[in-house]
Structure 1
Amino acid sequence: MKKPIVIKKGLSNDMRFDLKDGAGSDAIHVKPVYAYAVCKLVTDSDVEGVGLAFTLGSGNKIVCQAIEYLVKHVEGKEIYELMDTFGATYKKMADDPNFRWLGPHKGVVQLALAAVVNACYDLWAKAEGVPLWKLLIDLSPEQLVNTLDFSYYEDILPKQEAIALIKNQRAGITQRESIIQTGYPGYDTSIGWFNYTDEQVLRNVEEAMNNGFTAMKLKVGAQNPDRDIRRAELVRKIAGDKATIMFDANQQWNLPQAISVCTKLKELNPYWIEEPTHPDDVYAHVALAKAVDVPLALGEHVPNKIIFKNFIQSGCMSFNQVDAVRVGGVSEFLLISLLSRKFNIPVVPHVGDMGQIHQHLVLFNHITLGHPALLLEHIPHLRDYFKHPVLISDGKYQTPMEPGMSADLLQYEYSY
C-alpha cells in the first residue's frame, strides 16, 4: 500500500539568469533575461514537487505572486488522491473567480497555473519513484484522462473519444518504446540568435554539426528583410542541402510582410517558418498558408487549449509547438496533444530552455499517442543550473531516468 504524501505548503521562488553575448535574442526580445517562476510543494515527507514557468525578466515576480495564491488549491491535499481526479482540481484553479477575470486562461495567471500544475505532476512521479515519462506511459487511458479538464472540448474531443484514441494507439507501442534506448532527436536553436553576427552564426552551425545535429534554427524578423535572406542563405550554404533548417520570426511581421518574406525564404527549403505574425491571429495564419505554400510552426505564445483548438481546426498549422510552461502545465499540454493527434498534426514543443520538462512529454506523445518522433528544440544556456540537466549525445536527447520531471534546480541564491 502506498504511503500517503500530503502537500503541506506551496512556495514560490523568483530565479533569473543574465545571458551574455547576444544569447537568447530574437526580433522582439533583444536583451532577454531568462527567468524561472518556481513553484515548490513541501510535503510531510522528504519528497518535494518542483514546477516551473519560464519568463524573460521583471514580470517573473508577478508570476511568483500568482503562484502563491493558486497553491491554496492544492495545499492540504494528499498527492495520490489529488492526481486521481486532477482534472477537477485543474478546472477549479483555472476558473478561480478571483483570477479568471485577469485572463481567462492566459497571461500571468496561466503561467502561474503551469508552475503549480507542473509541480503536482513532478511530486506524483517522485512519489512513484519514476521519471515523468514513465509515469505517464504506464497510466491507463482512464487514469490519464482523469487528470485533464475537457471543458470546451466536448464538441471536438469528448472524454470517451480521447480514451478510445489512446487505446487505438496501443498497436505499435513496443516498437515505439525503442526510442527510450536510441534517444529523441533534437534540433539546435542556439546557432542563430538574432543578435549574433554572421560569423558567430556560421561558427555555431559548424559546431552544431560536429555535435551531431542535422537540424537547426535561425532567428529572422529584421527591419530590413534583406538581412534575413542573406543570413538564411549563409546557413543553408554551410549546413548543406540535406540539413533541416527552420526560420523563426517571433511574431515580427504583419500579414503582407509575412507573405513577402516567407515567399523568399521558401526558396531555401525550410522545414518550417515559425511564428510569422501575431500569435492570436488565426485568420492571418490561414491567409498566409493559402498565399505561400510553406509549413507553419505555431503555438509558442498560444496560451490555452481554446486558441489551440481554433488553430488545429483551421488547417493552417503544420507543426504544433505547444509549450507546457505557456499553457496550463502538463495537464493542458496532454489534452492539446490528444487533439493534435486526432488531427494528425505533429507536436514539436517550444522549449525556451525548458527541454528539461519537454523531454518527458515528447516521449509520452510518441510512445502512448503515436505522435511521430520528429524533433525537440535544444537550448543549452541554463543547463548548468539543474540537478539533472538534459543529456545530448550525437544530437539526441538521452532518456532521463531520475524520478520526477527533471525540474529540480541547484540552490543558487537569486533574489529580486
Structure 2
Amino acid sequence: MHPSIVIREVVSQDKRYVLPPGAGSDAVHTAPTYGYAVCVLRTDRSEEGVGLAFTLGTGNPLVCEAIRHLAGKLVGQEIHALMAGFGRIFRTLADDAAYRWLGPHKGVVHLALAAITNACFDLWAKAHQVPLWKLLNDLSPEALLDAIDISYLEDVLPRAEALGILTQRDATRKDAEQILRTGYRGYDTSVGWFEYSDGQIRDNVRRAMDAGFTAMKLKVGSKDAGRDIRRAMLVREVAGDTATIMLDANQQWSLPDAIRICSALQPMNPYWIEEPTHPDDVQAHRTLADAIAPLRIALGEHVPNRVLFKNYLQTGAMSFNQADAVRVGGVAEYIAISLLSRKFNIPMVPHVGDMGQIHQHLVLFNHIRVGHEALFLEYIPHLRDHFVHPARVTGGFYQVPQEPGLSAALR
C-alpha cells in the first residue's frame, strides 16, 4: 500500500524565459519568449505535483487564471483515489460549464487542462516513488484506461479494443525493454532556427553531428521559397546523404504553395515535411499527401485534441503523429492519442514544447507498452538549466530518467 496524499492547495505560476538571439525562431515567431503556465498541486505531505502547459510567454496569465478556476475542484482529493478514475475527472474538467464555451477542448482552457492533468500524473508517479515511464508501463491495462478519457473515439477505438492493444503488447514487450539500456535516440531541432544565418546553420550541423546526432531539423516557411530551398540544400550538403533531415514550415503555406514548394524540396530527400499548411485543414493535408508522395507529412503540434487527431488518422493525411502533452490535454489525452495512433499504425514522434522533459517518459511508454516504433525524440536544449532534473542526452540519445515523477519541476 502507498501512503495517502491529499491535495490541499492549487497554485499557478507564470514562468517565462528569454532566448538567445535567433533561438526558437520560426516563420511565425521571429523572436519568441518561451513560457510555461505551471500548475502546482501542494499536498499534506512533502510531495508536490508539477504540470506544464507550453506558451510563448505573454499568454501565460490567461492560462494561469484558467488553471486556478478548473483545478479548484481537486482540492481535498486523495491522489490514488483521484487517479483511479481520472478519465471521468478529465471529462468533467474539460466540460466545465463556465469555460467550455471558450473552447471546447482547445485554446487557453485546454492548455490549462494540460497543466492540471500533467501535475496530477506527476504527483501520482511521485506517490508511487517511480518515474512516470515506469508507472505507465507497470499499471494494469484496466487501470491505465480508467485514467484516460476515450470519449468521442469509441467509433474507431472502443474500450475493448484499446484494452486489447495493451494486453497483447504486455505479452510481447520484453524485447522493447532493451531501450531502457540504450536510451532513446534524439534529433536536434536547434541547428536550424528560422532567424539563424547560413553560417550559423553550417556550424550547428557540424556541432550536432560531433555530439552524436544523426537526425536534425530545419525551419522553413519563408515568403521567399528560394531561401527555403537553398538552406535545405545547404543542410544536406553539410550533413551528408546518410543524415536524416526534417523540414518544418510552421503552417505557412497555402495548399497550392505547399504542393509547389514541397515538390521543389524533394531532391534534398527530407525525411518529412512538418506542418505544411493550416493545422485545422484536414482535407488540405490529405490532398497534399497524395500530391507529394512518397514525401511524408508530420503534424500535430497545433492539433488541439484527440478528436481532430482521429480525423487526421482516419483520412490518412499524416505519416508521423506529433501530439504534444503540453499542448493537448496533458498526459491523459496524449495516451488516448497514442493508442489511437497505434490503431492506425502511425508512429508517435512528439513535438516537445516541454523541451523533452515529459516526453522522454512518454516515448518509452509508447514503445514498450503500446508498441510504437522507437524512431527519435526532438531535442531542444535552450531551457535545460531551468529544470531541477533536466533531460540528459549523451551521444545523441536521451538517457532514461530515474527520478520519481515526470521531470517537469522548474528551478
- 8 Å Cα contact 2:23-2:195 kept in structure 1: yes
- Corresponding residue for residue 383 of structure 2: 382
- 8 Å Cα contact 1:83-1:147 kept in structure 2: yes
Distance 1:301 1:73 in 2: 28
- Corresponding residue for residue 414 of structure 1: none
Distance 2:139 2:292 in 1: 42
- 8 Å Cα contact 2:187-2:216 kept in structure 1: yes
Percent pairwise identity: 63
Distance 2:343 2:31 in 1: 39
- 8 Å Cα contact 1:202-1:235 kept in structure 2: yes
- Corresponding residue for residue 5 of structure 2: 5
Q: Give the counterpart letter for 1:402 in structure 2.
A: E
Q: 1:285-300, aligned counterparts within 5 Å?
A: 285-293=285-293, 294-300=295-301
- Corresponding residue for residue 115 of structure 2: 115
DSSP-derived class of the 2:52 partner? strand
- Corresponding residue for residue 66 of structure 2: 66
CA shift digits 1:217-237 (9 cap, x unpaired): 000000100000000000000
Distance 1:324 1:246 in 2: 21
- Corresponding residue for residue 360 of structure 1: 361
Distance 2:202 2:308 in 1: 37
1:206 corresponds to 2:201: no
The unaligned stretches of length 5 or more in structure 1 are 411-416
Q: Give the counterpart letter for 1:359 in structure 2.
A: Q
The unaligned stretches of length 5 or more in structure 2 are none
- 8 Å Cα contact 2:326-2:353 kept in structure 1: no
Distance 2:208 2:128 in 1: 37
Q: 1:5-404, aligned counterparts within 5 Å?
A: 5-293=5-293, 294-404=295-405
Runs of 4+ in 1 over 4 A off after TM superposition: none
Q: Give the counterpart letter for 1:289 in structure 2.
A: A
Q: Give the counterpart letter for 1:298 in structure 2.
A: L
Distance 2:229 2:73 in 1: 50
DSSP-derived class of the 1:58 partner? coil
DSSP-derived class of the 1:152 partner? coil
Distance 1:50 1:332 in 2: 17
- TM-score by length of structure 2 reads 0.99
| Greater Cα shift, 118-127 or 261-270 | 261-270
DSSP-derived class of the 2:3 partner? coil
Q: Give the counterpart letter for 1:383 in structure 2.
A: R
DSSP-derived class of the 1:345 partner? coil
Distance 2:339 2:393 in 1: 27
- Structure 1 pair 405–55 and aligned structure 2 pair: CA distance change class (3 A): same
Distance 1:407 1:228 in 2: 35
Aligned-residue offset at 1:21: 1.4
- TM-score by length of structure 1 reads 0.98
CA shift digits 1:215-272 (9 cap, x unpaired): 0000000010000000000000000000000000000101011001100111111110
- 8 Å Cα contact 1:162-1:338 kept in structure 2: yes
Distance 2:172 2:398 in 1: 22
Distance 2:74 2:343 in 1: 32
CA shift digits 1:45-104 (9 cap, x unpaired): 000000000101210111111101111121110000000010000000001111110000
Distance 1:302 1:226 in 2: 28
DSSP-derived class of the 2:41 partner? strand
DSSP-derived class of the 2:280 partner? coil
DSSP-derived class of the 2:185 partner? strand
Distance 1:154 1:100 in 2: 21
- 8 Å Cα contact 1:113-1:328 kept in structure 2: yes
DSSP-derived class of the 1:177 partner? helix
- 8 Å Cα contact 1:125-1:404 kept in structure 2: yes
CA shift digits 1:187-239 (9 cap, x unpaired): 00000000000000000000000000000000000010000000000000000
RMSD: 0.7
Distance 1:73 1:353 in 2: 25
Q: Give the counterpart letter for 1:88 in structure 2.
A: R
Aligned-residue offset at 1:316: 1.3
Corresponding residue pairs, total:
410
